[in-house]
């Protein structure tokens, strides 16, 4: 059996199955990179489908960034997680669309650092993807 040994983080984009399937097809990623959990099939957790990179079915990190861009440009909700290759210490990096100020304020009451990190990462993601959308040679 062929295995891929990665040393860096594994990124997970989790979203609604229908939207994620459309995005995978649009970005021309391997169909096998889309994972539908039991909770997604039963409708128990409506946004539990995911794509991870790098994995056996998806090594294309540029394609994964294109997948992120698809969701942001089209305004579809998703969550971004990161974990070690061994599956340890999975953590939510951000929820998109960006949480509104009321929700961020409420989250800050429970965990200020996590709320600030999520808010900052959303802003950075939007800035980064906005830069990708600029034509070549256009000043930022």
Q: Domains in the chain: how many in total? A: 1
Give per-residue burial for 81-100: e unless 16+ CB within 10 Å, then b: beeeeeeeeeeebbbbebbe
Q: Is residue 117 situated within a structural domain?
A: no
Q: What is the pLDDT of residue 51?
A: 95
Q: Is residue 137 situated within a structural domain?
A: no
Read off the pLDDT of residues 20-41 as tens digits, 9 standing for 90 and up.
999 999 999 999 999 987 766 6
Q: Is residue 75 situated within a structural domain?
A: yes
State the pLDDT confidence band at 42, using cuts at 50, 70 and 90.
low
Q: Is residue 33 situated within a structural domain?
A: yes
- Per-residue pLDDT at 137 exceeds 60: no
Read off the pLDDT of residues 60-119 as tens digits, 9 standing for 90 and up.
988 998 898 888 878 888 888 888 777 666 677 666 676 677 877 877 888 888 778 777
What is the chain's percent helix, strand, coil content, to nearest 5? Answer: 45, 20, 35
Structural domain for 69, as ranges: 10-97
Measured CA to CA, the distance from residue 69 to residue 126 in angstroms comes to: 9
Residue holding tokens 């929820």? 95
Q: Is residue 48 situated within a structural domain?
A: yes
Q: Mean pLDDT over all residues of the chain?
A: 78
């Amino acid at each position: 059996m062929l295995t891929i040994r990665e040393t860096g983080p594994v990124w997970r984009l989790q979203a609604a199955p229908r939207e994620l399937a459309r995005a995978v097809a649009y970005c021309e990623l391997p169909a096998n990179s889309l994972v539908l959990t039991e909770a997604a099939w039963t409708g128990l957790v409506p946004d539990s489908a995911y794509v991870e990179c790098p994995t056996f079915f998806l090594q294309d990190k540029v394609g994964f960034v294109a997948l992120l861009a698809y969701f942001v440009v089209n305004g579809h909700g998703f969550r971004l997680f990161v974990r070690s290759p061994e599956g340890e210490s999975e953590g939510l990096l951000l929820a998109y669309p960006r949480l509104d100020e009321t929700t961020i304020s409420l989250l800050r009451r429970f965990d200020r650092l996590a709320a600030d990190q999520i808010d900052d990462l959303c802003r950075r993601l939007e800035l980064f993807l906005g830069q990708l959308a600029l034509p070549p040679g256009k000043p930022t």
